[in-house]
Amino acid sequence: MNPSLQARYTFAQTLAREAGELAHNYFKNLDQIVVESKGTQDEVSIADRETEVFLRTKIAGAFPDDGILGEEGGDDTNGKSIIWVLDPIDGTACFVNSMFSWCISVAVVIDGVPSIGVVFDPNANELFHAALGGTAYVNNKPIHVKEAADFKGGVLGVGFSHRSQPEEFTPFMYTLLSSGGMFIRNGSGALMLCYVAAGRLIGYYEPHINSWDCLAAIVITEAAGGRCNDFLTNDGLTRGNPILAAGKALYPALLAATGKQII
> What residues line the site for Ca ion (CB under 5 A)?
71, 87, 89-90, 213
**Of 7-15, 23-31, 186-194, 223-231, which part binds ligand IPD (CB under 6 A)?**
186-194
Asked whether position 157 contacts ligand IPD by CB under 6 A, the answer is: no
Instruction: Find the shortest distance in angstroms from Cβ 133 to ligand IPD.
Output: 27
If contact means CB under 5 to 8 A according to the sort of partner, which of Ca ion, ligand IPD, none does residue 52 touch?
A: none
Q: Give least dist CB 87 to ligand IPD, A.
A: 5
Bridge partner residues of 75 (DSSP): 69
Tell me if 91 contacts ligand IPD by CB under 6 A: yes
Instruction: Say whether residue 206 binds ligand IPD (CB under 6 A).
Output: yes
Q: Considering beta carbons, is residue 68 or 148 the nearer one to Ca ion?
A: 68
**For ligand IPD, which stretch binds (CB under 6 A), given 17-25, 109-117, 185-193, 253-261?**
185-193
